[in-house]
Chain A
Amino acid sequence: MDTASRVVLLKGAHVVDPGQGIDRIVDIAVENGKIRALDNLPANAEVVDLTGCYLSPGWVDIHVHVYGTLGFADPDSIGVYQGVTSYVEAGGPGIGTLDEFLALLGGRTVTSLYAGPYLRPLGILSVNFIEGDVRTISNVPITDWLDFKKAHPGLLRYLKVGAFSGYGLGPTKLAKGLAEILGLPLYAHIGEHQLQPGNSSAYEIYKVSEAGDIVTHIYHGNECGILDRDGKVLPVVRQAKDRGVLFDVGFGGYNFSWRVAEKAYAQDFVPDIISSDLQQFNVAGPAYSLANVATCLLKLGLSLRQVIERITINPARALGMTDIAGTLKPGMPADITVFRLESGAFELSDTVSHTRTFDRRLVPTITFKNGQRIDCDLDRCQDERNWLLQVAEDHEPEGVARLTAEQQGFLDALAVKLAAISWDVTSVESFDYAKALELQDAFHQVRAAQHIPLRPALTAVFDSFLDSPFSIQIGLFLMRLDRTFALERLRRVSGARRLVA
């Protein structure tokens, strides 16, 4: 249903709109892609009977990964197809790759996509790499950050940092300073301390953060969590919450523990925001969807209204988006999530395979994005091609046939350039950040010399190696390819141009 020009009446649903204090059966009208007042409805308004359903403002997920080493081939599969009308890419790009992020994804999702870039210029590197190495954040280009933010108003919603470092507290404080300069909330990741035993720098984030800053992964069960050894919420955490620091679930692949969540909830330590941290490494379980994560919070003890509040108006307020998301006020974009509260016996797993059984679950059924109806498909994201980034080593992807002469010429020149650079596939033990930058720089030098726009240059590389197009930092992508294979493939797909010519 396209409501671009007609009035549609969503009738009979139980509306949960905490931003307006609505929690009852009431009709919602849509016109021209926006929420419309109910008075003076035309007689020929199209009626959609939603009796028996719940309806809320479109869900906002402030922590997903659709770009970079954690991203998906089909970003809308974890967006509008799961009831989420707006989401934020949490750290995939940094200032050195935001242009690539925009070239690949800008305006190409039905779901409204915002960026929460990482302090490090390349963005998140990979799940293997221990974050916080100061060598990766040296020479923070503050003017580039300011210029980018000014050139793309509304795109950046927070600045992300890993709240730990093998080099003391500097990176955390550096990020806080940059966030202040940019006028953005600091979004601090406190998980993965199991990778750095004995490093307690996460606790500093509770002191550095100010009202409006956000701490994510609050219920993780690894080292440096929010609880002390006796299971009590740490005073420094309480003090931060009392000061107005916001706490976000960020379920993730490592960062939701029933043990921690239940102990914290028993002490009235409740998150302000519920986010999924959906990525290619947790979408096939245990996270699955924002709906599943929200169901975990229902199981924990939050009411339905509290849960919806934490995926609508609370994130909208936190990210300064209440003019475009979070409520169903007349005049707002018609971003709406219709859902059911199913009964049954549902197993909910945390990130360390501990499970709880619950008798209800949230199931989004219909999403309206700017009034456009999308029927939800929770399983769409499960397609292996969506989350499993496989290099087509034994065949050429179909995308090779789509390469233009301009792209083939670019690949030809890129092969020549890369032949002068040696690199190894990323190892678990160490990450050659300088090499990733060198490969990225080589790509952009060739692009400039060939006068080819960024998007076709990027897609030329991805189409040469991937059956499904992922959006990933080009330097990191090249570095994960076997060098001999990469050069041979580039020469072959670009050589086809010469043969045809």
Chain B
Amino acid sequence: MKKIKDFINNADIRKFRFWLQIFFFVLFVYGGYFAVNLGNKIPMFSCGFDREAGGMCYFLPLQHQLARPLDVLFSVASISVLIGFLTFLLWFIVFNKAWCGYACPLGTMQDWITGLRKRLGIRYSTYTQPQFNKLKKIKYIMLALVILAPVGVGLGLLGGEWRTAFCEICPGRMITPLFVGDVSQWSLDFSTKSAMVLTTLGLMVTGLFFVGSFIKKRFFCFFCPMSAMHYIFSDAALIKLKKDGDKCTKCGDCYNVCDMQIKDIADDVESTNILRDDCILCMKCVAACPEDDALHVDILNMKVFTSTKGGFSKRMEMDKLEEKDD
């Protein structure tokens, strides 16, 4: 048992994550080819506009369901909405935000773009703390759009093209289908004024997605409404990111490697549950923590991956001297 634990705690999490991401990418983007269908309540951006999706983002059906006329929405017929929501919750509760860090195709794509940037030898940029604090609110506005726009359609306040307003501006709609050779989403919809505005916005956001994630690690995740939605229910999840503040020296190693620039991970020594709304549960912080058991990932209060001095040195390649070639 101790051997297994040591093996996990010393593991090179980057490699593990890289391959797992590829696996999930194939599963969710190309799943259709293998007759995989995990339903349409998946708590991440596995886009439903991809014909071959092996499982579909929950937001597309959610928006459609919410766009029903109000009297239908609050009738027995909407039990299906409730069941849909519970299914979503079940999926989410198992993996918590690890959906973002390990499975989300849009997240994986951003990591690939980051990899490309690294290859080119270009350094990433970061937000300053005040910028961070302002920008992080955007994802809640997005979440409001996901919920309120279809409700507005149901109430008859908005035109039908607002039904899936968020999807229109989500970069996943344009990018994900490309992987199965579908370029049909790359067009502007001139049918109505607001459709035109929305699709134009979508095109711009897609452009931003590419440029942004080239410059900034996990650029889009910062604005993702799914991430906001996760956070509301994350306390109920089985996997948890925990911190033992007594053991933390606030050295900031975890903050340094955090793609999402979450400062609490280093500075908060009071909370035991250290998962924040921006977190993608990639576990890089745990891997970069040099204190024994200061940060750990728990499943049902059992430590499955925990920070260790030995693991840190191994991953940073500080556990042995480099052979000099001269």
Do A and B belong to a common assembly? no
Chain B residues engaging chain A, CB cutoff 8 angstroms: none
